[in-house]
Amino acid sequence: MKNRLLGVAGAAAAVVLVSGSIWAHHSGAMYDSEHPITLKGVVTEFAFINPHVQIHFEVKDEQGNSAIWIAGSAPPQRMYRAGWNKYTLKPGEAITVTGAPAKNGSKVMSVRRLVGPSGQVLSEGAE
């Protein structure tokens, strides 16, 4: 009986500890939502995977220097309901992405709106 009680107490403690980190992951605290940016680039990789859809794209600055950015979005299930699927974007396609950049200056952003190669507007379904 004592071992069972210890097991239940341990499991409850683990749930409490893990739930805090899960909440932090989904809080969006790493992004600067007050200062969205818009970038034009070319898709290098489109990963329609859990836990978040990722778009890797090459952006060139005014001097012609290129950098790879990663735009993260919602989980595939939510994106599918908003009209996305694993064939929505292909490497080599030109896109325009608007979103919240990472606060730490890394080339990562959270997608708010994406204009695809044929002009279609893609969002997470919040527009």
pLDDT in tens, 1-52: 566 554 444 444 444 444 444 444 555 789 999 999 999 999 999 999 999 9
Q: 3 by DSSP, 3-state: which?
A: helix
Nearest to 55 by CA among 91, 100, 106: 91
Q: What is the 3-state secondary structure (H, E, C) of 62-115?
A: CCCCEEEEEEECCCHHHHHHCCCCCCCCCCCCEEEEEEEEECCCCCEEEEEEEE
Residue spans per domain, the chain: 1-29, 37-122
Q: Please, what is the average pLDDT of the chain?
A: 83
Domain 37-122, CATH: 2.40.50.1010
- Convert the pLDDT of each residue in 68-109 to its tens digit: 999 999 999 999 998 899 999 999 999 999 999 999 999 999
